[in-house]
Structure 1
Amino acid sequence: MRYSLDQLEMFARVAKTGSFSAAARSLGKTQSTISMAIANLEVDWGLPLFDRTSKLPTLTPAGRKLLNEVELVLERCLDLESQANDLGELVEPRLTLAIEVPYKALMPAITDFAAQFPAVDLDVRHPFHGDVSDLLVKGEVDLGVAFAQPDYPRDLGFSQMGKLILAHVARRDHPLARQASVSFAELRSHRRLVFSAHNNTLPSTEYLDSARSWQAESYLALLEMTRAGLGWTTLPRQLILRELEEGELVELQLAAYPHTDWLVGVDLIWSKARVLGKAGVWLKRRLQDHKVYELDRNGNATTL
Protein backbone atom coordinates (compact mmCIF):
# COMPACT_ATOMS: atom_id res chain seq x y z
CA MET A 1 0.00 0.00 0.00
CA ARG A 2 1.69 3.20 -1.17
CA TYR A 3 -0.78 5.72 0.25
CA SER A 4 -1.13 6.59 3.93
CA LEU A 5 -3.94 7.25 6.37
CA ASP A 6 -2.81 10.89 6.46
CA GLN A 7 -3.46 11.14 2.73
CA LEU A 8 -6.92 9.64 3.15
CA GLU A 9 -7.68 12.11 5.93
CA MET A 10 -6.54 15.01 3.73
CA PHE A 11 -8.69 13.77 0.85
CA ALA A 12 -11.76 13.52 3.09
CA ARG A 13 -11.09 16.95 4.61
CA VAL A 14 -10.77 18.67 1.21
CA ALA A 15 -14.06 17.06 0.16
CA LYS A 16 -15.72 18.26 3.38
CA THR A 17 -14.36 21.81 3.46
CA GLY A 18 -14.53 22.42 -0.29
CA SER A 19 -11.02 23.76 -0.77
CA PHE A 20 -7.36 22.87 -0.30
CA SER A 21 -6.71 25.99 1.76
CA ALA A 22 -9.62 25.33 4.17
CA ALA A 23 -8.50 21.72 4.60
CA ALA A 24 -4.95 22.91 5.31
CA ARG A 25 -6.17 25.32 8.01
CA SER A 26 -8.33 22.70 9.70
CA LEU A 27 -5.50 20.15 9.76
CA GLY A 28 -2.75 22.60 10.68
CA LYS A 29 -0.78 21.94 7.49
CA THR A 30 0.34 24.03 4.53
CA GLN A 31 -1.75 24.19 1.39
CA SER A 32 1.15 22.79 -0.65
CA THR A 33 1.29 19.74 1.66
CA ILE A 34 -2.41 19.08 1.05
CA SER A 35 -2.10 19.60 -2.72
CA MET A 36 0.91 17.27 -2.98
CA ALA A 37 -0.79 14.58 -0.88
CA ILE A 38 -3.89 14.63 -3.09
CA ALA A 39 -1.79 14.63 -6.26
CA ASN A 40 0.20 11.61 -5.05
CA LEU A 41 -3.01 9.85 -4.13
CA GLU A 42 -4.35 10.43 -7.65
CA VAL A 43 -1.11 9.01 -9.09
CA ASP A 44 -1.32 5.94 -6.83
CA TRP A 45 -4.93 5.28 -7.82
CA GLY A 46 -4.49 6.28 -11.44
CA LEU A 47 -7.48 8.63 -11.61
CA PRO A 48 -8.43 12.24 -10.81
CA LEU A 49 -10.25 12.79 -7.53
CA PHE A 50 -11.06 16.47 -8.02
CA ASP A 51 -12.01 18.63 -10.99
CA ARG A 52 -9.75 21.67 -10.74
CA THR A 53 -11.09 23.62 -13.74
CA SER A 54 -13.28 25.85 -11.56
CA LYS A 55 -12.28 28.18 -8.72
CA LEU A 56 -12.99 25.55 -6.07
CA PRO A 57 -12.14 21.85 -6.49
CA THR A 58 -15.16 19.57 -6.95
CA LEU A 59 -15.22 15.80 -6.64
CA THR A 60 -15.17 13.81 -9.84
CA PRO A 61 -17.65 10.90 -10.12
CA ALA A 62 -14.80 8.52 -9.21
CA GLY A 63 -13.73 10.74 -6.33
CA ARG A 64 -17.27 10.85 -4.98
CA LYS A 65 -17.51 7.07 -5.01
CA LEU A 66 -14.08 6.56 -3.43
CA LEU A 67 -14.86 9.15 -0.74
CA ASN A 68 -17.48 6.81 0.74
CA GLU A 69 -14.90 4.04 0.98
CA VAL A 70 -12.31 6.38 2.48
CA GLU A 71 -14.79 7.53 5.14
CA LEU A 72 -15.38 3.88 6.07
CA VAL A 73 -11.63 3.19 6.32
CA LEU A 74 -11.07 6.23 8.54
CA GLU A 75 -14.01 5.34 10.74
CA ARG A 76 -12.75 1.78 11.19
CA CYS A 77 -9.31 3.13 12.14
CA LEU A 78 -10.90 5.29 14.82
CA ASP A 79 -12.87 2.29 16.09
CA LEU A 80 -9.65 0.28 16.24
CA GLU A 81 -7.91 3.01 18.24
CA SER A 82 -10.91 3.25 20.55
CA GLN A 83 -10.87 -0.50 21.25
CA ALA A 84 -7.11 -0.42 21.85
CA ASN A 85 -7.55 2.48 24.28
CA ASP A 86 -10.22 0.54 26.17
CA LEU A 87 -7.63 -2.10 27.06
CA GLY A 88 -5.78 0.34 29.32
CA GLU A 89 -5.04 -1.02 32.80
CA LEU A 90 -4.20 2.16 34.72
CA VAL A 91 -6.78 3.68 37.03
CA GLU A 92 -6.95 7.41 36.38
CA PRO A 93 -7.28 9.68 39.44
CA ARG A 94 -10.04 11.82 37.89
CA LEU A 95 -12.77 11.59 35.23
CA THR A 96 -14.86 14.35 33.67
CA LEU A 97 -18.43 13.61 32.63
CA ALA A 98 -20.64 16.09 30.74
CA ILE A 99 -24.34 15.58 31.45
CA GLU A 100 -27.06 17.42 29.54
CA VAL A 101 -30.06 15.38 30.69
CA PRO A 102 -31.66 15.46 34.18
CA TYR A 103 -29.14 13.92 36.58
CA LYS A 104 -31.76 11.73 38.25
CA ALA A 105 -31.84 9.50 35.18
CA LEU A 106 -28.15 8.58 35.66
CA MET A 107 -27.85 8.28 39.43
CA PRO A 108 -27.93 4.43 39.57
CA ALA A 109 -24.90 4.19 37.26
CA ILE A 110 -23.02 7.00 39.03
CA THR A 111 -23.75 5.46 42.43
CA ASP A 112 -22.32 2.15 41.22
CA PHE A 113 -19.24 3.97 39.95
CA ALA A 114 -18.72 5.60 43.38
CA ALA A 115 -18.81 2.17 45.02
CA GLN A 116 -16.50 0.57 42.44
CA PHE A 117 -13.89 3.38 42.36
CA PRO A 118 -14.18 5.34 45.64
CA ALA A 119 -10.76 6.96 45.17
CA VAL A 120 -11.46 8.35 41.68
CA ASP A 121 -12.71 11.95 41.58
CA LEU A 122 -15.59 12.66 39.21
CA ASP A 123 -16.08 16.12 37.72
CA VAL A 124 -19.62 16.60 36.37
CA ARG A 125 -20.01 19.39 33.85
CA HIS A 126 -23.28 20.84 32.65
CA PRO A 127 -22.89 22.02 29.04
CA PHE A 128 -24.91 25.23 29.15
CA HIS A 129 -24.44 25.75 25.43
CA GLY A 130 -25.45 22.18 24.54
CA ASP A 131 -21.91 21.56 23.32
CA VAL A 132 -21.28 18.02 24.59
CA SER A 133 -19.89 16.90 21.22
CA ASP A 134 -17.66 19.96 21.03
CA LEU A 135 -16.33 19.34 24.54
CA LEU A 136 -15.44 15.77 23.58
CA VAL A 137 -13.76 16.78 20.34
CA LYS A 138 -11.67 19.36 22.22
CA GLY A 139 -10.70 16.75 24.82
CA GLU A 140 -12.19 18.71 27.72
CA VAL A 141 -14.35 15.82 28.97
CA ASP A 142 -13.96 12.04 28.99
CA LEU A 143 -17.58 11.01 28.40
CA GLY A 144 -20.85 12.77 27.64
CA VAL A 145 -24.54 12.02 28.07
CA ALA A 146 -26.84 14.20 25.98
CA PHE A 147 -30.04 14.32 24.01
CA ALA A 148 -29.50 12.63 20.66
CA GLN A 149 -28.47 14.79 17.70
CA PRO A 150 -28.99 14.05 13.98
CA ASP A 151 -25.27 13.48 13.37
CA TYR A 152 -21.93 13.46 15.16
CA PRO A 153 -18.36 14.11 14.03
CA ARG A 154 -16.69 11.01 12.64
CA ASP A 155 -14.21 10.79 15.51
CA LEU A 156 -16.97 10.43 18.11
CA GLY A 157 -18.65 7.17 19.06
CA PHE A 158 -22.12 6.94 20.55
CA SER A 159 -24.77 4.51 21.73
CA GLN A 160 -28.36 5.20 22.67
CA MET A 161 -29.17 4.74 26.35
CA GLY A 162 -32.92 5.17 26.01
CA LYS A 163 -35.48 7.93 25.67
CA LEU A 164 -36.88 10.70 27.81
CA ILE A 165 -39.98 12.82 27.42
CA LEU A 166 -39.79 16.51 26.67
CA ALA A 167 -42.95 18.26 27.88
CA HIS A 168 -44.43 21.51 26.59
CA VAL A 169 -45.55 23.42 29.68
CA ALA A 170 -46.84 26.77 30.93
CA ARG A 171 -47.76 28.25 34.29
CA ARG A 172 -51.28 27.24 35.40
CA ASP A 173 -52.72 30.73 34.81
CA HIS A 174 -51.18 31.11 31.33
CA PRO A 175 -53.82 31.36 28.53
CA LEU A 176 -52.51 28.19 26.87
CA ALA A 177 -52.78 26.22 30.14
CA ARG A 178 -56.55 26.75 30.18
CA GLN A 179 -57.05 25.04 26.81
CA ALA A 180 -57.86 21.34 26.50
CA SER A 181 -56.08 21.20 23.15
CA VAL A 182 -53.45 23.55 21.73
CA SER A 183 -52.68 24.01 18.03
CA PHE A 184 -49.33 24.98 16.58
CA ALA A 185 -50.86 28.31 15.52
CA GLU A 186 -51.88 29.01 19.12
CA LEU A 187 -48.38 28.14 20.34
CA ARG A 188 -46.88 30.62 17.88
CA SER A 189 -49.11 33.41 19.15
CA HIS A 190 -47.47 33.30 22.60
CA ARG A 191 -43.88 33.88 23.70
CA ARG A 192 -41.76 30.75 23.52
CA LEU A 193 -38.94 30.23 26.02
CA VAL A 194 -36.23 28.22 24.26
CA PHE A 195 -33.21 26.19 25.37
CA SER A 196 -30.83 27.90 22.95
CA ALA A 197 -28.70 24.84 22.18
CA HIS A 198 -31.73 22.88 20.95
CA ASN A 199 -33.62 25.65 19.22
CA ASN A 200 -33.71 23.83 15.88
CA THR A 201 -31.67 20.66 16.38
CA LEU A 202 -34.09 18.20 17.98
CA PRO A 203 -36.74 16.32 15.96
CA SER A 204 -39.97 18.26 15.34
CA THR A 205 -38.63 21.57 16.70
CA GLU A 206 -39.44 23.21 13.36
CA TYR A 207 -43.13 22.97 14.30
CA LEU A 208 -42.60 24.92 17.51
CA ASP A 209 -41.34 28.19 16.07
CA SER A 210 -42.90 31.31 17.52
CA ALA A 211 -43.05 34.91 16.39
CA ARG A 212 -41.73 35.87 19.83
CA SER A 213 -39.06 33.91 21.65
CA TRP A 214 -36.59 34.29 24.47
CA GLN A 215 -33.57 32.02 24.73
CA ALA A 216 -31.72 30.68 27.76
CA GLU A 217 -28.60 28.54 28.12
CA SER A 218 -29.92 26.26 30.86
CA TYR A 219 -33.08 24.34 31.65
CA LEU A 220 -33.15 25.79 35.16
CA ALA A 221 -33.30 29.31 33.72
CA LEU A 222 -36.20 28.26 31.50
CA LEU A 223 -37.97 26.72 34.47
CA GLU A 224 -37.74 29.92 36.51
CA MET A 225 -38.96 32.07 33.61
CA THR A 226 -41.89 29.74 33.02
CA ARG A 227 -42.77 29.78 36.71
CA ALA A 228 -42.78 33.58 36.46
CA GLY A 229 -45.38 33.39 33.68
CA LEU A 230 -43.14 34.81 30.96
CA GLY A 231 -44.15 32.25 28.35
CA TRP A 232 -44.41 28.55 27.52
CA THR A 233 -41.43 26.25 27.16
CA THR A 234 -40.24 22.70 26.56
CA LEU A 235 -38.48 20.92 29.42
CA PRO A 236 -37.49 17.35 30.30
CA ARG A 237 -40.43 15.99 32.26
CA GLN A 238 -38.04 14.38 34.74
CA LEU A 239 -36.94 17.88 35.71
CA ILE A 240 -40.41 19.21 36.53
CA LEU A 241 -42.23 16.25 38.11
CA ARG A 242 -42.84 18.16 41.34
CA GLU A 243 -44.15 21.27 39.57
CA LEU A 244 -46.51 19.16 37.47
CA GLU A 245 -47.73 17.12 40.43
CA GLU A 246 -48.42 20.25 42.49
CA GLY A 247 -50.18 21.94 39.58
CA GLU A 248 -47.81 24.89 39.38
CA LEU A 249 -47.07 24.00 35.76
CA VAL A 250 -49.53 22.52 33.29
CA GLU A 251 -48.53 20.24 30.44
CA LEU A 252 -49.91 21.50 27.14
CA GLN A 253 -51.81 18.94 25.08
CA LEU A 254 -50.87 19.51 21.44
CA ALA A 255 -53.73 18.97 19.00
CA ALA A 256 -51.34 17.44 16.44
CA TYR A 257 -50.11 14.83 18.94
CA PRO A 258 -53.14 13.99 21.09
CA HIS A 259 -52.11 10.44 22.01
CA THR A 260 -48.31 10.57 22.07
CA ASP A 261 -45.53 12.17 24.08
CA TRP A 262 -42.53 13.90 22.56
CA LEU A 263 -39.83 11.25 23.01
CA VAL A 264 -36.19 12.22 22.47
CA GLY A 265 -33.29 9.77 22.51
CA VAL A 266 -30.50 10.00 25.09
CA ASP A 267 -27.00 9.11 23.85
CA LEU A 268 -23.76 8.20 25.56
CA ILE A 269 -20.99 9.89 23.54
CA TRP A 270 -17.23 9.46 23.62
CA SER A 271 -14.14 10.34 21.63
CA LYS A 272 -12.71 7.37 19.79
CA ALA A 273 -9.22 8.81 20.19
CA ARG A 274 -9.55 9.41 23.95
CA VAL A 275 -7.46 7.05 26.05
CA LEU A 276 -9.54 5.92 29.02
CA GLY A 277 -8.05 4.18 32.02
CA LYS A 278 -9.63 1.34 33.93
CA ALA A 279 -12.15 3.58 35.72
CA GLY A 280 -13.17 5.34 32.52
CA VAL A 281 -13.64 2.07 30.66
CA TRP A 282 -15.75 0.72 33.53
CA LEU A 283 -17.95 3.83 33.64
CA LYS A 284 -18.39 3.83 29.87
CA ARG A 285 -19.56 0.20 29.88
CA ARG A 286 -21.80 0.78 32.92
CA LEU A 287 -23.48 3.73 31.19
CA GLN A 288 -23.90 1.69 28.01
CA ASP A 289 -25.69 -0.98 30.03
CA HIS A 290 -27.80 1.57 31.91
CA LYS A 291 -31.24 2.12 30.39
CA VAL A 292 -32.79 5.58 30.54
CA TYR A 293 -36.57 5.61 30.50
CA GLU A 294 -39.71 6.96 32.12
CA LEU A 295 -43.45 6.33 31.91
CA ASP A 296 -45.40 7.97 29.09
CA ARG A 297 -48.95 9.29 29.41
CA ASN A 298 -50.29 5.74 28.92
CA GLY A 299 -48.13 4.33 31.72
CA ASN A 300 -45.75 2.52 29.35
CA ALA A 301 -41.97 2.65 29.68
CA THR A 302 -40.19 4.74 27.06
CA THR A 303 -37.97 1.92 25.81
CA LEU A 304 -35.56 1.98 22.87
Structure 2
Amino acid sequence: MAGIMDTVNQRTQLVGQNRLELLLFRLHGRQRFGINVFKVREVLQCPKLTSMPHSNPYIRGVAHIRGQAISVIDLSLATKGKRIENLENRFIVIAEYNRSVQGFLVEGVERIVNIKWEDVMPPPKGAGRTSYLTAVTEIENELVEIIDVEKILEEISPASTEISEELRSAPEGRDWSETILLIADDSAVARNQIKRALEPLGIPMVTQKDGRDALNWLKEKSKELGGDISRVVPLMISDIEMPEMDGYTLTAEVKADPALKNMHIILHTSLSGVFNQAMIKKVGADDFIAKFHPDELAGAVRKWLGVDVSAENASQ
Protein backbone atom coordinates (compact mmCIF):
# COMPACT_ATOMS: atom_id res chain seq x y z
CA MET A 1 0.00 0.00 0.00
CA ALA A 2 2.89 2.34 0.74
CA GLY A 3 4.08 1.82 -2.83
CA ILE A 4 0.74 2.95 -4.22
CA MET A 5 0.90 6.23 -2.33
CA ASP A 6 4.59 6.98 -2.97
CA THR A 7 3.67 9.11 -5.97
CA VAL A 8 1.02 11.18 -4.19
CA ASN A 9 3.57 13.78 -3.09
CA GLN A 10 4.59 14.24 -6.74
CA ARG A 11 1.06 14.85 -8.00
CA THR A 12 1.31 18.63 -8.28
CA GLN A 13 3.86 18.18 -11.07
CA LEU A 14 0.99 17.20 -13.37
CA VAL A 15 -1.01 20.36 -12.73
CA GLY A 16 -1.36 22.49 -15.84
CA GLN A 17 -0.17 19.76 -18.20
CA ASN A 18 -3.73 18.61 -18.98
CA ARG A 19 -2.87 15.34 -17.24
CA LEU A 20 -4.02 13.62 -14.09
CA GLU A 21 -3.22 10.63 -11.94
CA LEU A 22 -6.00 8.25 -11.05
CA LEU A 23 -6.00 5.92 -8.07
CA LEU A 24 -7.68 2.75 -9.36
CA PHE A 25 -9.94 0.72 -7.07
CA ARG A 26 -12.71 -1.87 -7.18
CA LEU A 27 -16.08 -2.04 -5.48
CA HIS A 28 -17.47 -5.42 -6.56
CA GLY A 29 -16.30 -7.74 -9.32
CA ARG A 30 -13.90 -6.81 -12.11
CA GLN A 31 -15.08 -3.24 -12.82
CA ARG A 32 -12.43 -0.65 -11.99
CA PHE A 33 -13.09 2.87 -10.77
CA GLY A 34 -10.87 5.91 -10.39
CA ILE A 35 -10.41 8.92 -8.14
CA ASN A 36 -8.04 11.82 -8.75
CA VAL A 37 -4.91 11.30 -6.63
CA PHE A 38 -4.76 15.05 -6.03
CA LYS A 39 -7.77 14.65 -3.72
CA VAL A 40 -6.41 11.64 -1.85
CA ARG A 41 -4.75 12.09 1.53
CA GLU A 42 -3.98 8.44 2.18
CA VAL A 43 -5.18 4.88 1.69
CA LEU A 44 -5.57 2.61 4.71
CA GLN A 45 -6.72 -0.88 5.48
CA CYS A 46 -10.18 -0.36 6.95
CA PRO A 47 -9.87 0.25 10.68
CA LYS A 48 -12.52 -0.58 13.25
CA LEU A 49 -15.55 1.62 12.60
CA THR A 50 -17.79 3.18 15.22
CA SER A 51 -21.45 2.95 14.23
CA MET A 52 -23.55 6.10 14.04
CA PRO A 53 -27.21 5.65 14.99
CA HIS A 54 -29.72 7.34 12.66
CA SER A 55 -26.99 8.24 10.14
CA ASN A 56 -27.40 8.08 6.38
CA PRO A 57 -27.48 4.39 5.29
CA TYR A 58 -24.51 4.97 3.00
CA ILE A 59 -22.31 5.84 6.00
CA ARG A 60 -20.89 2.64 7.48
CA GLY A 61 -19.46 4.33 10.53
CA VAL A 62 -16.78 6.67 11.82
CA ALA A 63 -13.05 5.97 11.69
CA HIS A 64 -10.76 7.65 14.22
CA ILE A 65 -7.61 8.48 12.27
CA ARG A 66 -4.75 10.63 13.51
CA GLY A 67 -6.93 12.34 16.07
CA GLN A 68 -9.73 13.06 13.60
CA ALA A 69 -13.18 11.44 13.37
CA ILE A 70 -13.92 10.72 9.70
CA SER A 71 -17.22 9.47 8.28
CA VAL A 72 -16.74 6.41 6.08
CA ILE A 73 -19.05 6.15 3.05
CA ASP A 74 -19.67 2.81 1.36
CA LEU A 75 -19.04 3.82 -2.27
CA SER A 76 -20.77 0.73 -3.58
CA LEU A 77 -23.98 1.42 -1.64
CA ALA A 78 -23.81 5.11 -2.53
CA THR A 79 -23.80 4.26 -6.24
CA LYS A 80 -26.71 1.83 -5.85
CA GLY A 81 -24.49 -1.25 -5.73
CA LYS A 82 -24.18 -4.03 -3.15
CA ARG A 83 -23.01 -3.44 0.40
CA ILE A 84 -19.29 -4.08 0.92
CA GLU A 85 -18.73 -6.91 3.42
CA ASN A 86 -15.72 -8.32 5.32
CA LEU A 87 -14.49 -4.87 6.33
CA GLU A 88 -11.30 -6.17 7.95
CA ASN A 89 -10.05 -7.06 4.45
CA ARG A 90 -11.18 -3.83 2.77
CA PHE A 91 -9.69 -0.37 2.38
CA ILE A 92 -10.70 3.22 2.93
CA VAL A 93 -9.57 6.07 0.71
CA ILE A 94 -9.23 9.26 2.77
CA ALA A 95 -9.99 12.19 0.47
CA GLU A 96 -10.73 15.88 0.73
CA TYR A 97 -13.67 17.28 -1.23
CA ASN A 98 -15.47 20.56 -0.87
CA ARG A 99 -13.66 21.70 2.30
CA SER A 100 -14.26 18.47 4.20
CA VAL A 101 -12.54 15.13 4.68
CA GLN A 102 -14.32 11.84 3.95
CA GLY A 103 -13.40 8.18 3.96
CA PHE A 104 -14.57 6.07 1.04
CA LEU A 105 -14.92 2.35 1.69
CA VAL A 106 -13.78 0.25 -1.28
CA GLU A 107 -13.24 -3.45 -1.81
CA GLY A 108 -9.70 -3.25 -3.15
CA VAL A 109 -7.11 -0.72 -4.29
CA GLU A 110 -4.86 -1.39 -7.29
CA ARG A 111 -2.40 1.29 -8.40
CA ILE A 112 -1.98 4.82 -9.71
CA VAL A 113 -2.04 5.56 -13.44
CA ASN A 114 -1.03 8.72 -15.30
CA ILE A 115 -3.30 9.74 -18.19
CA LYS A 116 -4.19 12.74 -20.33
CA TRP A 117 -7.39 14.66 -19.65
CA GLU A 118 -8.14 14.46 -23.38
CA ASP A 119 -8.44 10.67 -22.91
CA VAL A 120 -11.07 11.18 -20.22
CA MET A 121 -14.53 11.31 -21.76
CA PRO A 122 -18.01 12.21 -20.51
CA PRO A 123 -19.96 9.11 -19.40
CA PRO A 124 -22.36 7.43 -21.81
CA LYS A 125 -25.97 8.50 -21.45
CA GLY A 126 -28.17 6.09 -19.61
CA ALA A 127 -29.93 5.27 -16.39
CA GLY A 128 -28.85 3.48 -13.24
CA ARG A 129 -25.27 3.50 -12.11
CA THR A 130 -24.10 5.76 -14.96
CA SER A 131 -25.88 8.65 -13.25
CA TYR A 132 -23.12 8.50 -10.61
CA LEU A 133 -20.31 8.85 -13.13
CA THR A 134 -18.63 12.11 -14.00
CA ALA A 135 -16.31 10.63 -16.64
CA VAL A 136 -14.88 7.42 -18.10
CA THR A 137 -11.54 6.46 -19.57
CA GLU A 138 -9.93 3.36 -21.08
CA ILE A 139 -6.92 1.72 -19.45
CA GLU A 140 -5.46 -1.54 -20.78
CA ASN A 141 -8.49 -1.97 -23.04
CA GLU A 142 -10.86 -1.83 -20.07
CA LEU A 143 -13.30 0.92 -19.14
CA VAL A 144 -12.51 2.79 -15.91
CA GLU A 145 -15.39 4.71 -14.37
CA ILE A 146 -14.77 7.98 -12.50
CA ILE A 147 -17.43 8.49 -9.84
CA ASP A 148 -19.22 11.82 -9.37
CA VAL A 149 -18.31 12.22 -5.70
CA GLU A 150 -20.04 15.62 -5.55
CA LYS A 151 -23.35 13.95 -6.42
CA ILE A 152 -22.87 11.39 -3.65
CA LEU A 153 -21.98 14.03 -1.06
CA GLU A 154 -24.96 16.15 -2.13
CA GLU A 155 -27.31 13.20 -1.58
CA ILE A 156 -25.85 12.49 1.87
CA SER A 157 -25.56 16.08 3.07
CA PRO A 158 -27.01 18.68 0.66
CA ALA A 159 -25.04 21.92 0.46
CA SER A 160 -26.82 25.20 1.07
CA THR A 161 -27.00 27.46 -1.97
CA GLU A 162 -28.47 30.43 -0.12
CA ILE A 163 -26.46 33.66 -0.19
CA SER A 164 -26.54 36.49 2.34
CA GLU A 165 -29.15 39.21 1.98
CA GLU A 166 -26.51 41.88 1.29
CA LEU A 167 -25.36 39.93 -1.78
CA ARG A 168 -28.83 39.24 -3.17
CA SER A 169 -28.94 41.94 -5.83
CA ALA A 170 -27.39 42.59 -9.23
CA PRO A 171 -24.05 44.46 -9.18
CA GLU A 172 -24.55 48.14 -9.86
CA GLY A 173 -23.08 50.02 -12.78
CA ARG A 174 -24.99 48.80 -15.81
CA ASP A 175 -27.91 46.77 -17.10
CA TRP A 176 -26.82 43.13 -16.70
CA SER A 177 -29.77 41.61 -18.57
CA GLU A 178 -27.70 41.26 -21.76
CA THR A 179 -24.67 39.90 -19.88
CA ILE A 180 -23.78 36.20 -19.69
CA LEU A 181 -21.94 34.36 -16.93
CA LEU A 182 -20.33 31.22 -18.33
CA ILE A 183 -20.14 28.17 -16.03
CA ALA A 184 -17.95 25.20 -16.98
CA ASP A 185 -18.18 22.10 -14.78
CA ASP A 186 -18.47 18.40 -15.56
CA SER A 187 -20.67 17.72 -12.52
CA ALA A 188 -24.38 18.42 -13.07
CA VAL A 189 -24.73 18.78 -9.30
CA ALA A 190 -22.05 21.48 -9.20
CA ARG A 191 -23.54 23.33 -12.19
CA ASN A 192 -26.95 23.42 -10.50
CA GLN A 193 -25.46 24.54 -7.18
CA ILE A 194 -23.71 27.46 -8.85
CA LYS A 195 -26.83 28.49 -10.78
CA ARG A 196 -29.04 28.39 -7.69
CA ALA A 197 -26.54 30.42 -5.68
CA LEU A 198 -26.11 33.11 -8.34
CA GLU A 199 -29.70 33.43 -9.55
CA PRO A 200 -30.47 36.28 -7.08
CA LEU A 201 -27.84 38.40 -8.87
CA GLY A 202 -30.18 38.54 -11.87
CA ILE A 203 -27.47 37.81 -14.44
CA PRO A 204 -28.20 35.25 -17.21
CA MET A 205 -26.03 32.12 -17.10
CA VAL A 206 -24.88 29.58 -19.68
CA THR A 207 -23.45 26.21 -18.60
CA GLN A 208 -21.03 23.88 -20.37
CA LYS A 209 -20.12 20.38 -19.24
CA ASP A 210 -16.35 20.49 -19.84
CA GLY A 211 -13.45 22.71 -20.84
CA ARG A 212 -13.54 21.78 -24.51
CA ASP A 213 -17.22 22.65 -24.84
CA ALA A 214 -16.68 25.92 -22.95
CA LEU A 215 -13.81 26.95 -25.24
CA ASN A 216 -15.77 26.10 -28.37
CA TRP A 217 -18.75 28.10 -27.09
CA LEU A 218 -16.53 31.11 -26.36
CA LYS A 219 -14.94 31.00 -29.82
CA GLU A 220 -18.35 30.84 -31.48
CA LYS A 221 -19.55 33.74 -29.35
CA SER A 222 -16.51 35.84 -30.30
CA LYS A 223 -17.25 35.22 -33.99
CA GLU A 224 -20.85 36.24 -33.43
CA LEU A 225 -19.76 39.45 -31.67
CA GLY A 226 -16.93 40.18 -34.07
CA GLY A 227 -14.15 40.33 -31.51
CA ASP A 228 -13.73 41.00 -27.79
CA ILE A 229 -16.44 39.18 -25.84
CA SER A 230 -15.74 40.67 -22.41
CA ARG A 231 -18.62 43.18 -22.45
CA VAL A 232 -21.12 40.37 -23.10
CA VAL A 233 -19.29 37.53 -21.31
CA PRO A 234 -17.20 39.34 -18.68
CA LEU A 235 -16.72 36.31 -16.40
CA MET A 236 -16.30 32.55 -16.51
CA ILE A 237 -16.53 30.23 -13.51
CA SER A 238 -14.64 27.04 -14.29
CA ASP A 239 -13.98 23.76 -12.52
CA ILE A 240 -10.39 22.49 -12.73
CA GLU A 241 -11.02 18.75 -13.18
CA MET A 242 -12.96 18.19 -16.40
CA PRO A 243 -12.91 15.60 -19.19
CA GLU A 244 -11.09 16.38 -22.44
CA MET A 245 -9.71 19.74 -21.22
CA ASP A 246 -9.03 20.72 -17.61
CA GLY A 247 -9.64 24.17 -16.16
CA TYR A 248 -5.99 25.19 -16.17
CA THR A 249 -5.65 24.40 -19.87
CA LEU A 250 -8.97 26.11 -20.62
CA THR A 251 -7.78 29.24 -18.79
CA ALA A 252 -4.47 29.28 -20.66
CA GLU A 253 -6.29 28.90 -24.00
CA VAL A 254 -8.67 31.74 -23.17
CA LYS A 255 -5.89 34.09 -22.08
CA ALA A 256 -3.92 33.33 -25.26
CA ASP A 257 -6.83 34.35 -27.53
CA PRO A 258 -7.04 38.12 -28.21
CA ALA A 259 -10.84 37.97 -28.48
CA LEU A 260 -11.23 36.16 -25.14
CA LYS A 261 -8.36 37.32 -22.94
CA ASN A 262 -10.17 40.27 -21.32
CA MET A 263 -12.73 37.97 -19.70
CA HIS A 264 -12.17 37.30 -15.99
CA ILE A 265 -11.87 33.69 -14.80
CA ILE A 266 -12.68 32.20 -11.41
CA LEU A 267 -11.40 28.65 -10.87
CA HIS A 268 -13.98 26.95 -8.66
CA THR A 269 -13.02 23.46 -7.58
CA SER A 270 -13.51 20.68 -5.06
CA LEU A 271 -9.71 20.55 -4.72
CA SER A 272 -10.04 22.22 -1.36
CA GLY A 273 -6.79 21.06 0.18
CA VAL A 274 -3.36 21.96 -1.17
CA PHE A 275 -3.53 23.65 -4.57
CA ASN A 276 -1.02 25.19 -6.91
CA GLN A 277 -1.10 28.98 -6.57
CA ALA A 278 1.85 29.35 -8.93
CA MET A 279 -0.07 27.53 -11.68
CA ILE A 280 -3.16 29.67 -11.08
CA LYS A 281 -1.04 32.76 -11.74
CA LYS A 282 0.83 31.15 -14.63
CA VAL A 283 -2.31 30.38 -16.62
CA GLY A 284 -3.78 33.81 -15.85
CA ALA A 285 -6.80 32.97 -13.67
CA ASP A 286 -8.12 35.90 -11.64
CA ASP A 287 -9.35 33.99 -8.61
CA PHE A 288 -9.51 30.55 -6.94
CA ILE A 289 -12.41 29.45 -4.75
CA ALA A 290 -12.81 26.03 -3.12
CA LYS A 291 -16.29 24.52 -3.43
CA PHE A 292 -18.82 25.14 -2.10
CA HIS A 293 -19.43 28.40 -0.26
CA PRO A 294 -22.21 30.41 -1.93
CA ASP A 295 -21.32 33.74 -0.27
CA GLU A 296 -17.67 33.49 -1.34
CA LEU A 297 -18.70 32.65 -4.88
CA ALA A 298 -21.31 35.42 -5.12
CA GLY A 299 -18.88 37.91 -3.57
CA ALA A 300 -16.19 36.98 -6.09
CA VAL A 301 -18.65 37.35 -8.97
CA ARG A 302 -19.61 40.84 -7.79
CA LYS A 303 -15.95 41.71 -7.29
CA TRP A 304 -14.85 40.76 -10.79
CA LEU A 305 -17.86 42.32 -12.45
CA GLY A 306 -17.03 45.45 -10.46
CA VAL A 307 -13.52 45.44 -11.92
CA ASP A 308 -15.06 45.67 -15.37
CA VAL A 309 -17.24 48.58 -14.29
CA SER A 310 -14.27 50.39 -12.76
CA ALA A 311 -12.25 49.88 -15.91
CA GLU A 312 -15.05 51.33 -18.00
CA ASN A 313 -15.34 54.37 -15.74
CA ALA A 314 -11.59 54.93 -15.79
CA SER A 315 -11.52 54.90 -19.58
CA GLN A 316 -14.25 57.48 -19.94
What's the TM-score bracket when you normalise by the shorter of the two chains?
Answer: 0.3 to 0.5
Hey, which of these two has a bigger chunk of strand by percent? 2
| TM-score (structure 2 length as normaliser) | 0.32
Larger radius of gyration: 1
Higher RCO, Cα 8 Å, sep 6+:
1
Hey, which of these two has a bigger chunk of helix by percent? 1
